Structure formats: structure tokens, C-alpha cells
Amino acid sequence: MEQALRLMLALALGAGLGLLYDLIRPLRRRAGKAAPLLDVLFAVLSAAAAFFFACAAPDARLGIWELAAALLGFLGWESCAERLRRRLLWLKSWDHTKKDRSQAKFLQNNTSKN
């Protein structure tokens, strides 16, 4: 039971790191030449999170399964977040297209009367 809990916590750790990566992504895009420094910061924070996660274990070690679960949590977050971003962008583009069409119809109706 304790191992299952550790695996679930490792999945949550990976998902949390994925969220952190998504939060610093806009900063990385705007940072230009400083983007590698943000990558190093993310790597240091990830290593620190893994270290503290290992220290919380009864035997104070991090097994391969926990690392694999954290990786799966990270990749799962990225996969789900990518789908969500696509849906939001699709809805935004659909809404924008709908507004453009209504504006075009409005302009067409008003210019044809003159």
C-alpha cells in the first residue's frame, strides 16, 4: 500500500513539474538569450523536488519506479495540457472566425445599400 502511495505521489510530482514548466514557458519565449538560464533553473528545481521527495521516503532513497512515475506524470501533464491548449486555441480561432464572418456580412450589407 505504501508503494502505491509513493507511486501516486511521484505521478503528482511529475505533473507539478509539468505545470511549472508550462508556467515558465512564456518567460522562456520572451527571454531570448537568457532562456538557457531558465532551463537551468527548471533543472535545479526539478532536482531539488526529487531530492526532497526521496528524503521523505522511509528509507530516504528514490527508486527507478518513482522516477519513471514522475516522468509519466510530467509527460501526462504535457499531453493533457497540449490538448487543452489546442482546444482553447481552436475555440478562440473559431470565435474569431465567427466574428470576422459577421463583420464581413455587416460590411457587405451596409456597403451594398449605398
pTM over cut 0.85:
no
Cβ-based neighbour number of residue 74 at 10 Å: 21
Distance from C-alpha of 68 to C-alpha of 79, rounded to nearest angstrom: 16
Note the pLDDT of residue 99. Answer: 55
Write the pLDDT tens digit of every residue in 14-52: 999 998 888 888 888 888 888 899 999 999 999 999 899
Are 7 and 66 contacting, i.e. CB atoms less than 8 angstroms apart? yes
What 3-state DSSP class applies to 8?
A: helix
Region class of 60: left (phi > 0), else alpha (psi between -120 and 50), else beta = left
Average pLDDT in the chain? 80
Q: Which of 28-42, 49-63, 91-105 has the lowest mean pLDDT?
A: 91-105
